[in-house]
């Protein structure tokens, strides 16, 4: 890919922010505040710290051993071909779930302005528009994603500034202010409430893995990537924590719920009539931005699987701009099914796929930590001049892995999260079973050689689409 088509550090950072800051933050934070109270601040700080280490692990692996499949390839190298197969396909499925939840959310918020238009039509229109955006080269896509991400960042900054005015001045009434934090228990929901909130808080941070997949499309990775890690996690955590503190100061934590955006709820009490429409636009933008970034990462993962012989060779083709158009179009076909489901059960499907996607993302980040722990010594030996920026190895790997494993287990203990847990666990077992069946009949190959299971799947796809291979 020509350098003119590569993404700069700013574009890569904005891609990461676009993937991270989605509708889950603007909507899901209401649920976490409701179940956790003031301790939700600690939850966002904790997850921000964990994600910094996790993204640092991934960045270091990507610089020491550049691979198109990123964390999926590292999982295979560290723990065998089965782990790479399962992680890669789980990321692909998780990406479809993310796109599904975000496009459903975008359709729901669009219906506020256009109640007469059915949700499935919004889903189709947004899916088509974002597919076209993803078909342009990496640099052009990065610019579009940067614009969407900037809107979200400006919105959070604007909310924080407006909140500070409302909190510290008598304009439009007197907020409860610091009494909200001083007059209540820090853990009103107990440790179980705090633990139960961690999955939703994690989902607000998930999406950082796209950085590993985008490194191949970035300019001068050795200089770009370390800056992107600091900028992405630092900016996200600061915006999240400060905005959550503002929410708690504007209204009592018990005023928030899962059915409305807390960013809207916090301002409605001050009779700011335009607040709902502005936040509705911001949430819509956040959903579309996260959906677009997920399209990028998911299509790249399917291409990487194809080139490793773990998916049909049909998906290994990229156009002259470096865009894996076959993988992109095939992945997005599944959004047609979401259009149908959004017509039947729009609210239920959003909550279900959001939780399941969070669980699958947990498996990905857990694998990144463990893969870095296992592969780093040999990689550092082969790259003696490389300057490591990951602190406290290998203790930090084990601490991060234990926390992520704990969040996964906590999801089973929370009644509201059990349906998502069951769906997520079912997808994990189904993917593992697929590997066992394919591996038993047709052993995995490093390349998509004739006779491998990638070649067998390729025949199926070729029969459906009749490509000229």
Residue 198: name the closest of 393, 419, 408, 7 by CA. 408
3-state class (DSSP) for residue 133:
helix
pLDDT, greater one: 221 or 4: 221
* pLDDT at site 262: 84
- Alpha helices, DSSP H, located in 66-137: 71-79, 81-113, 119-134
On whether residue 394 sits in a domain, the answer given is yes
On whether residue 338 sits in a domain, the answer given is no
Lowest mean pLDDT among 8-22, 291-305, 378-392: 8-22
| Alpha-carbon separation of residue 7 from 2, 4, 293, 340 (angstroms) | 11, 8, 14, 35
Cβ neighbours for 393, distance < 8 A, ≥ 6 positions apart: 372, 373, 376
φ, ψ of residue 306 to 5 degrees: the values are: -65, -45
DSSP symbols for 213-245: HHGGGBSSHHHHHHHHHHHHHHHHHHHHHHHHH
Calculate the CA dihedral of residues 329, 331, 332, 337 and round it to 10 degrees.
130
Tally the domains of the chain. 1
Average of per-residue pLDDT values in the chain: 77
Average pLDDT over residues 211-237: 75
Lowest mean pLDDT among 12-16, 202-206, 326-330: 12-16
Do the beta carbons of residue 263 and residue 28 sit within 8 Å?
Answer: no
Lowest mean pLDDT among 41-55, 418-432, 451-465: 451-465
Sign for the pseudo-dihedral over CA of 104, 105, 111, 113: negative
| CA 315/CA 338 separation, integer angstroms | 22
Residue 310: name the closest of 454, 213, 441 by CA. 454
* pLDDT higher than 80, residue 426: yes
Average pLDDT over residues 27-34: 79
Per-residue pLDDT of 363-403, as tens digits, reads 888 889 999 999 999 998 888 888 777 888 899 999 999 99
| CA 355/CA 64 separation, integer angstroms | 33
Average pLDDT over residues 277-292: 81
* pLDDT higher than 80, residue 233: yes
Cβ neighbours for 216, distance < 8 A, ≥ 6 positions apart: 66, 68
pLDDT, greater one: 415 or 365: 365
Cβ neighbours for 381, distance < 8 A, ≥ 6 positions apart: none
Average pLDDT over residues 23-29: 73
Residue 157: name the closest of 250, 236, 84, 229 by CA. 236
Range of the domain at 144: 3-88+118-316+362-407
* pLDDT at site 374: 92
Highest mean pLDDT among 24-28, 196-200, 300-304, 334-338: 300-304
* pLDDT at site 372: 92
On whether residue 419 sits in a domain, the answer given is no
Do the beta carbons of residue 15 and residue 233 sit within 8 Å?
Answer: no
On whether residue 334 sits in a domain, the answer given is no
Per-residue pLDDT of 95-152, as tens digits, reads 887 787 778 778 877 887 888 888 778 888 888 888 888 887 666 666 777 777 788 7
On whether residue 431 sits in a domain, the answer given is no
* pLDDT at site 41: 92
* pLDDT higher than 70, residue 452: no
Do the beta carbons of residue 367 and residue 204 sit within 8 Å?
Answer: no
Cβ neighbours for 351, distance < 8 A, ≥ 6 positions apart: 420
* pLDDT higher than 60, residue 167: yes
* pLDDT higher than 80, residue 413: no
CATH code of 225's domain: 1.20.1740.10
How crowded is residue 287: how many other Cβ atoms within 10 Å of its Cβ? 28
* pLDDT at site 241: 93
Which tokens go with 451? 């006779």
Percent of the chain scored above 70 by pLDDT?
78
Residue 309: name the closest of 432, 439, 437 by CA. 439
On whether residue 461 sits in a domain, the answer given is no
């Amino acid at each position: 890919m020509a350098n003119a088509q590569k993404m700069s550090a700013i574009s890569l950072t904005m891609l990461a922010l676009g993937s991270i800051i989605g509708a889950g933050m603007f909507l899901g934070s209401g649920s976490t505040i409701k179940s956790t109270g003031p301790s939700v601040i600690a939850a966002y700080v904790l997850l921000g710290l964990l994600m910094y280490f996790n993204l640092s692990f991934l960045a270091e692996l990507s610089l020491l051993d550049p691979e198109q499949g990123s964390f999926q390839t590292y999982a295979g190298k560290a723990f065998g071909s089965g782990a790479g197969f399962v992680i890669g396909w789980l990321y692909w499925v998780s990406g479809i779930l993310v796109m599904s939840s975000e496009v459903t959310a975008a359709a729901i918020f669009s219906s506020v302005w256009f109640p007469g238009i059915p949700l499935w039509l919004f889903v189709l229109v947004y899916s088509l528009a974002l597919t076209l955006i993803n078909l342009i080269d990496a640099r052009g896509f990065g610019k579009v994603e940067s614009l969407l991400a900037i809107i979200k960042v400006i919105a959070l900054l604007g909310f924080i500034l407006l909140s500070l005015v409302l909190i510290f001045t008598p304009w439009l009434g007197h907020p409860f202010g610091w009494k909200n934090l001083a007059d209540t228990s820090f853990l009103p929901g107990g440790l179980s409430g705090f633990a139960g909130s961690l999955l939703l808080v994690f989902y607000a941070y998930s999406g950082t893995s796209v950085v590993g997949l985008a490194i191949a499309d970035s300019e001068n990775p050795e200089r770009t990537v370390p800056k992107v890690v600091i900028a992405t996690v630092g900016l996200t955590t600061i915006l999240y924590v400060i905005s959550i503190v503002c929410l708690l100061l504007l209204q009592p934590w018990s005023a928030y719920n899962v059915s409305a955006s807390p960013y809207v709820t916090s301002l409605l009490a001050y009779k700011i009539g335009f607040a709902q429409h502005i936040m509705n636009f911001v949430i819509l933008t956040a959903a579309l931005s996260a959906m677009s970034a997920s399209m990028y990462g998911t299509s790249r993962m399917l291409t990487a699987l194809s080139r490793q012989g773990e998916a049909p060779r049909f998906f290994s083709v990229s156009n002259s701009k470096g865009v894996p158009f076959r993988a992109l179009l095939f992945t997005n076909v599944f959004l047609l099914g979401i259009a149908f489901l959004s017509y039947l059960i729009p609210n239920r499907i959003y909550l279900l796929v959001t939780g399941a996607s969070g669980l699958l993302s947990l498996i990905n980040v857990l694998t990144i930590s463990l893969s870095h722990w296992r592969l780093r010594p040999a990689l550092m030996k082969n790259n003696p001049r490389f300057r490591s920026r990951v602190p406290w190895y290998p203790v930090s790997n084990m601490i991060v892995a234990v926390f992520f494993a704990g969040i996964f287990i906590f999801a089973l203990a929370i009644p509201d999260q059990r349906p998502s847990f069951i769906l997520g666990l079912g997808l994990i077992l189904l993917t593992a079973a697929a590997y066992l069946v394919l591996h038993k009949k047709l052993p995995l190959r490093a390349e998509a050689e004739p006779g491998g299971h990638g070649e067998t799947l390729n025949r199926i796809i070729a029969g459906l689409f009749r490509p000229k291979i």
